Structure 1
Amino acid sequence: MNNIQMVDLKGQYQKIKNEIDSALLKAVEGAAFINGPEVKQFAENLKQFNKVQSAVTCANGTDALQIAMMALGFKPGDEVIVPAFTYIATVEVIALLGLIPLFIDVRADTFELDHAQLEKTITDKTVGIVTVHLFGQCSNMDAIIAIAQKYKLAVIEDTAQAMGAEYIFRNGAKAFAGTIGNIGTTSFFPSKNLGCFGDGGALLTQDIELGEKAHMIANHGQRKKYHHESIGVNSRLDTVQAAILNVKIKYLNEYSAARQEVAQKYDEGLAEIEELILPVKASYSTHVYNQYTCRVINDNRDSLKTYLQDKGIPTMIYYPVPVHLQKAYQNYGYKEGDFPVAESLCKEVISFPIHTEMKAEMQDHIIESIISFFN
C-alpha cells in the first residue's frame, strides 16, 4: 500500500482549503506582514481556547522556551531541572542562556519527568523545573507544583506536543496543558496538533504581568517603539502563519478526537502483542496523541522499523539518544548509566503513523504488518 505518511498535512489542508485560501488572500492583500491584525486575533483566540489571562505569540517553540526563562529572570549559573528524555530544544535554551541543566530521569510508562526524583535533584542553585508533556499528555502537575511551591521554584510547561490536552487535578478540576505552571510554551511546527505552514510558537500564562514581560522580551525588550526596558530578542509570529492558525484552531478539538480514534484502533489491534508495550494513558490527563509511541522489548525495535519500511510504512524514533549523552552536552559531567530509564527508552521507542486524515484501510495495513512481524 502506497502513500502512508506519518502526518498527512496535504490531506488536512484539502479539507479546509477554502477557509485557508481565503484567510491567506486576506492577509496578503492587507500587506501587514509583521504584527498584522491576524496576529493579534490569533493571540486572543489562543487565550480564549486555553482559558488563560495572557497568550504571547513568537517565532517558534524554541524561542518560546528561551523567552519564558528570560521573563522568569533566570540568570547565568542558575540550575534548571529538565528530563533526560526530550527533544533537544528543551535543553538547548538552558545552555544558550548560561544556565545549568540538571537532568532527571523519566517514567517508563508515561515518559514524563519522574517527580519522585525531583526533591533529591534540587540544590540551593535550582530556580526552575521544565516539565515536558511528551507525545500528547500532561505530566503529573499536582505533584510537580507541590514540590515547586515547597522549594519556591518556577515551573515551565513544554506543551509543544500536547496542545489541547486537559489535565485533571486531584480535586476534579480541569485545566489545559500549558496553563498550570508559571508559564507554558508551545510550537506550531506543521506536524504539531495545531500546526501552521512554517514556524511559529507561543507562551501561555495566568500571570498578566509575566505575560506582558514575555511580550516585551519577544519584541526587542520594548513596550514602546525605540524604548528598550530590558534585553530582548526578535521573535515574531508572522501575519500569514497567524491567518492559517486562526482557521485551524477552530478545528483543534476535532483534530484531537480524530487522533484519539486512530490511537484507540491501534490499542485494540495491537493489544495481544506481548513484545509491544502500548502507550499508557495517565489517569490525570487526556491524551491528544501528537505521537503514538510504543516500546519494543527484546531488542527488536530496529528490526521492526526496517520490516515496516520495506512494506512502505514509515515510523519515527523519538528519540534515539538521551539528551545527557548528546555530544554537545558532555561538559555537564553526566555519563551513561546516570538515567537508566531514559537510556532504555531510546533503545525501545517507536512511533507509528497517526494523523487526522488516517484512512481505515491504511491503518489496517499498518496493524496487520506489525502483527505479522511479531508472528
Structure 2
Amino acid sequence: MPFIDLQAQYQAIKASVDARIQRVLDHGQYIMGPEVRELEAALAARVGVAHCVTVSSGTEALLIALMSLDIKPGDEVITTPFTFAATAEVIVLLGAVPVFVDIQPDSCNIDPALIEVAITPRTRAIMPVSLYGQVADMNEINAIATRHGLAVIEDAAQSFGATYRGRQSCGLSTWGATSFFPSKPLGCYGDGGAMFTDDAGLAQAAREIRVHGQSQRYTHTRVGLGGRMDTLQCAVVLAKLERFDWELEQRRLIGQRYQQALAELPVQRLAVREDRDCVWAQFTLLLSGAEQRQQVQASLTAQGVPTAIHYPRPMHQQPAYQSFAPAWPLPHAEAAAQRVLSLPMSADLSPAQQDAVVDALRHALAAG
C-alpha cells in the first residue's frame, strides 16, 4: 500500500498529462512558456484573487513573498514552531528573526491568542501555517495584523483547495503561498509553487524577483533570484486541475471516514473547525506519546501499512534554529512532535485500503 498513490492518479489522468507535456515538447518554450500564463490565470480565478505568480517551489513562494515586503536583517516574523523547516528557513535566509509562538493542541495550527504578546517594534509580518490541510484562524490573525500594521503570509503548502468561511485558502491575506511538491493536494512532477495576492505592486515585485530582479531583460531593478516554475511543471498542474474538484471531494470524504472510524479508538483526532474544511494533505492523529507512537508505527509497518511523522521535532529544537528559541514555553508544539502520526492518504485511497489501515491501527493499539 503506498502512503500517497501518485501512480493511480497518473493512470486516471494519463491522456491529459501526456498531451499537455507533448504540447510543451512541440513548442519548445521550456521557460516561461504559454502554460505558465495559462496556469496563473486559472489559479488566480480559482482562488479569487487578482494575481497569481508561479514560482519554482513552495519555499521560493515564501521567500519571494518576504522579499517583496522588503523584509530586512533584524526584522521579526511571527510564525509557528510546528512546521516544516522551509517556513522558518526563508526568514533566516534574509537575516530576519523567526519568532515562534505555540500552537493550538487540538488543531496543531498557530494559536492567535498568543500572537499579539509576541509583537515588538521590530515585527514586520505574521506567517501562519495552514497545517495538514486546514486553514489557520485567519480572521483573528488578520485583525491582529491590521491593528499593528503588519503583513500576513499564509503558508498554504498543505491547504490549497481548502475553504475558510466560504473563501479559498491562499486568498485570505497579504500573500498566500502554496507548494506543488508531488505529495501536496495539488502537485506537479517535480518542484513548483505559487503565490497569490490582490496587491498589484507586490505581484509586480514578485514577478521581477523570480527572474533575478528584472523589470525587463537585463534591467535589474531589484535583487532577485532564479525562481521560475518550469513550463513542463505548469503543464502537469493544468492537467491535474481537470479532476482537482473530484480529488478534493474524495479527500474530504476519506478524511471524514477516518475521523468516524477513529472515534471508536483510543487516539486523539485533529479538530476541524465548523467554519472551514480540511483537504487532508496528511491524515494525522495524535497518540499518547513517543513510546506508544514508536510501538504503533512498528506494528503498522509489520502489517504493511506505511506511516510518517509530520513533524518529529519542533523548529526551536532543531540544531540550526535553537538560537531562535523564545523566552516563553512552547509546550503544545513540543507535545505534538512526540505524539503525531500520519496514515496513508490520497484521493485514490480505496474504502478497502482505508478499512485495512483502520484494522491495522486497531490491532496495533490493542497490542500495546
Q: TM-score range by the shorter chain?
A: over 0.9
One-letter amino acid of the structure 2 residue matched with residue 369 of structure 1: A
| Aligned pairs (5 A) from 1:88-127 | 88-127=85-124
In 1, the alpha carbon distance for the partners of 2:256 and 2:2 equals 19
Match of 1:350 in 2: 341
In 2, the alpha carbon distance for the partners of 1:359 and 1:284 equals 28
One-letter amino acid of the structure 2 residue matched with residue 236 of structure 1: R
C-alpha distance after superposition, 1:269-317 (max 9, x if no partner): 221112x011211122111110111000154111100100000100110
Q: CA deviation at 1:19?
A: 0.7
One-letter amino acid of the structure 1 residue matched with residue 206 of structure 2: A
In 2, the alpha carbon distance for the partners of 1:73 and 1:29 equals 40
Match of 2:253 in 1: 261
The alignment yields a C-alpha RMSD, in angstroms, of: 1.1
2:200 aligned with 1:205: no
Match of 2:272 in 1: 281
One-letter amino acid of the structure 2 residue matched with residue 58 of structure 1: V
In 1, the alpha carbon distance for the partners of 2:306 and 2:206 equals 39
In 2, the alpha carbon distance for the partners of 1:111 and 1:250 equals 31
Match of 1:10 in 2: 7
In 1, the alpha carbon distance for the partners of 2:278 and 2:335 equals 23
In 2, the alpha carbon distance for the partners of 1:268 and 1:79 equals 41
Match of 2:210 in 1: 218
C-alpha distance after superposition, 1:96-147 (max 9, x if no partner): 0000110110001111111000111111110100000000011111110111
One-letter amino acid of the structure 2 residue matched with residue 286 of structure 1: D
One-letter amino acid of the structure 1 residue matched with residue 258 of structure 2: Y
Match of 1:245 in 2: 237
Please identify, of 176-185 and 248-257, the stretch whose mean Cα deviation from structure 2 is larger. 248-257
Match of 2:219 in 1: 227
2:365 aligned with 1:374: yes
One-letter amino acid of the structure 2 residue matched with residue 78 of structure 1: D
Q: CA deviation at 1:374?
A: 2.1
Q: CA deviation at 1:333?
A: 4.6
| Aligned pairs (5 A) from 1:136-215 | 136-168=133-165, 174-215=166-207
Q: TM-score, normalised by structure 1?
A: 0.95
Match of 2:330 in 1: 339
One-letter amino acid of the structure 2 residue matched with residue 282 of structure 1: R
In 2, the alpha carbon distance for the partners of 1:317 and 1:356 equals 20
2:315 aligned with 1:323: yes
SS class of match (1:16): helix
In 1, the alpha carbon distance for the partners of 2:15 and 2:168 equals 30
Q: CA deviation at 1:73?
A: 1.3
Q: CA deviation at 1:51?
A: 1.1
C-alpha distance after superposition, 1:199-254 (max 9, x if no partner): 00110001122111111111111121111111111111111111111111222221
Structure 1 stretches lacking a partner, 5+ long: 169-173
SS class of match (2:281): coil
Contact 2:82–2:103, Cα closer than 8 Å, also in 1: yes
Contact 1:325–1:334, Cα closer than 8 Å, also in 2: no
Please identify, of 53-62 and 281-290, the stretch whose mean Cα deviation from structure 2 is larger. 281-290
Contact 2:161–2:248, Cα closer than 8 Å, also in 1: yes
2:53 aligned with 1:61: no
Match of 1:171 in 2: none
2:297 aligned with 1:305: yes
2:286 aligned with 1:295: yes
Give the % identical residues. 38
Contact 1:218–1:235, Cα closer than 8 Å, also in 2: yes
In 1, the alpha carbon distance for the partners of 2:189 and 2:364 equals 36
Match of 2:352 in 1: 361
SS class of match (2:243): helix
Structure 2 stretches lacking a partner, 5+ long: none
Residues 192, 333 of structure 1: alpha-carbon distance in 2 compared, 3 angstrom cutoff: closer
SS class of match (2:128): strand
Contact 1:291–1:354, Cα closer than 8 Å, also in 2: yes
